[in-house]
Amino acid sequence: MSIRFLALIPVAAAISLALSAAVDAVALPLFLDTTGTILATALAGPGVGIATGIVTSAVNTLRNPTFWPFVVVQLIVALYAWVAARAGLFRSFRTAIPAGLGLGVIASLTSTPISYLVFGCTTTGGIALTTALGKALGLPPLGACFFGSFVSDFGDKAVTFALVTSVLHGLPRRTAARFPWALRAIGAA
Amino acid sequence: MTGSRLHPFTLLAIAGALPALAWILPAPDGAAATLVVSLVLTLTPGARLGLTGIGASPGWRRRLVVFRMALLTAAPFWLFLLLLHDVPTTIATGLRITTMVATFVWLVAVLEPARLVEAMVAAGWSASIAYLLAATLSAVPVLKARAQRIVEAQRCRGLSPRGGIPARLRALQALALPLVLSALHEVDERALALETRGLVPGIRRTPLAPPHDPAAERAARWALLLVCLFTLVRRLIVQHPS
């Protein structure tokens, strides 16, 4: 791994964790905790993305230990983002947002069994409340758990993909050209 | 021996073993036992909320701060569990989650990142891996402070975080984009700094002050691993006798 990629990983992981301040300021029900993973993958490939996801989960675990079992979701996100970058899906919002919605479905399918088996669907307040709503709507326990994860992940991943698209297009070409996947991800190479 | 004086790998082994045992052992008794151990750990000398800066006063009250933090962090889970499950499931899952929360609150209180990095380097781990952990831990508060400055600066320029969802999303973009772009511009500077300091992948570094790792602690770590494996196998055989 090159020195530049090594320097990128902690920066990308810290971006994921620091964006909560921006989310809090606009009071939206978003996490954006995979932004760094998706961005690192779109810039430098799946290896850097996976490493960023693991580091993000490890550091987030020190704040809230329930995050660690969901490290699997970060790995899935990195692999999905790699496929999206290869296909040039970050070229515009028109392609990035549907791709993000697809990731939302996959991420909720991945996180539901972990949340259900390990935590009884009580990982965060928002997810617990939407799970309770799903239960009130008559869904079975696992279905209610998926409903809770889906509601939180679906919009979150679409916004994350849109944000990463904005970043990739906002990068100066000279900076983007230093990362092997950046130009291909936005359909410029 | 106080928690903060134990070798960092021993602290990690305890923090890994207790939640694992909480889930492996039958609930509620097994999880209750692990919870008691984890809560006692939060009361041990050396536990302080160093990363948050809370609990700096010396003595018993300082230990109580870690204990209280563990309980306060775990409390919402009990509420949500009661909302979603019956009482036996709430107790079983609640005890397990509280064990996990208390153990990690204790770990954060006693584990010094700098000692962990030294221990990893001394154990022959790649300096790159040690760097990733230490650099992220130090970069998060810096970027969070920068995010807060950007929020204030954009508000001064008239950015309003109010209104419908589209308006809020536009505001989010105006807040997040400068943060992410400025962080990415730092990557080259960091890479140059790493190269200057000789942190090239594959190079082994010499630790400046490696933490003492007595044989008893090394043996205890292996014992913890074996206990977890033995308990897991026993649980599987007892639950699923062939």
Over residues A41-99, the pLDDT tens digits come to: 999 999 999 999 999 998 888 777 888 888 999 999 999 999 999 998 999 999 999 99
Q: Which residues contact B110 (CB under 8 A, 6 or more apart)?
A: B2, B3, B4, B6, B11, B44, B46, B47, B48
H-type alpha helices, A137-172: 141-170
DSSP state of A179: S
Q: Provide the b/e sequence for B9-43 (b: ≥16 CB within 10 Å).
A: bbbbbbbbbbbbbbbbbebbebbbbbbebbbebbe
Q: What is the ipTM of this complex?
A: 0.86
Over residues B127-180, the pLDDT tens digits come to: 788 788 888 888 888 888 898 899 889 888 888 777 888 888 888 888 899 999
Where does residue A75 rank: exposed (0-12), middle (13-18), buried (19+ CB within 10 A)?
middle
Task: Tell me what pLDDT residue B51 has.
Answer: 46
Confidence of residue B55 (pLDDT cuts 50, 70, 90): very low
pLDDT at residue B49 tops 60: no
Instruction: Look up residue A22 and give its two tokens.
Output: 């921006």
Using a CB-CB distance cutoff of 8 angstroms, which residues of chain B are in contact with residue A57? none
Question: B87 — contact with chain A (CB < 8 Å)?
Answer: no
pLDDT at residue B242 tops 60: no
Q: Do B188 and A4 touch (CB under 8 A)?
A: yes
Question: B197 — contact with chain A (CB < 8 Å)?
Answer: no
Residue in A100, A101, A58 with CA at minimum distance from that of residue A81 = A100
pLDDT at residue B71 tops 80: yes
Q: Name, of A71-80, A151-160, B68-77, the range with top average pLDDT.
A: A71-80
Question: B12 — contact with chain A (CB < 8 Å)?
Answer: no
pLDDT at residue B118 tops 50: yes
Question: B123 — contact with chain A (CB < 8 Å)?
Answer: no
Confidence of residue B46 (pLDDT cuts 50, 70, 90): low
The dihedral through the CA atoms of A70, A75, A78, A81 has a sign that is: negative
H-type alpha helices, chain B: 8-24, 29-42, 60-84, 87-110, 113-122, 127-156, 165-196, 215-239
Task: Tell me what pLDDT residue B47 has.
Answer: 59
CA torsion angle A121 A125 A130 A131 (round to 10): 20
pLDDT at residue A105 tops 90: yes
pLDDT at residue B60 tops 60: no
Q: Is A132 left (phi over 0), alpha (psi -120 to 50) or beta?
A: alpha
pLDDT at residue B218 tops 90: yes
Using a CB-CB distance cutoff of 8 angstroms, which residues of chain B are in contact with residue A65? 19, 100-101, 103-104
**CATH classification of A3-185, choosing from 1.10.1760, 1.10.357, 2.60.40, 3.40.600?**
1.10.1760
Q: Name, of A131-140, B88-97, B124-133, the range with top average pLDDT.
A: B88-97
CA–CA separation, A4 and A70 (whole Å): 27
Residue B61, CB-side half-sphere exposure with 13 Å CA sphere: 5
Residues B75-83, mean pLDDT to the nearest whole number = 86
Task: Tell me what pLDDT residue B57 has.
Answer: 46
Helix (H, G, I), strand (E, B) or coil at B49: strand
Over residues A133-148, the pLDDT tens digits come to: 888 888 888 888 888 8
Option in A2, A17, A120 nearest B140 (CB): A17
Report A:63-122 residues touching B (Cβ under 8 A): 64-66, 118-122
Which residue ranges make up each domain of chain A? 3-185
Instruction: Look up residue A30 and give its two tokens.
Output: 């978003």
pLDDT at residue A16 tops 60: yes
CA–CA separation, A102 and A106 (whole Å): 6
Q: Do B84 and A17 touch (CB under 8 A)?
A: no
pLDDT at residue B239 tops 70: no
Task: Tell me what pLDDT residue B56 has.
Answer: 45
pLDDT at residue A126 tops 50: yes
Using a CB-CB distance cutoff of 8 angstroms, which residues of chain A are in contact with residue B107? 62
Instruction: Look up residue B27 and give its two tokens.
Output: 């609930």
Task: Tell me what pLDDT residue A140 has.
Answer: 86
Shortest CA gap B219–chain A (Å):
26
Confidence of residue B63 (pLDDT cuts 50, 70, 90): low
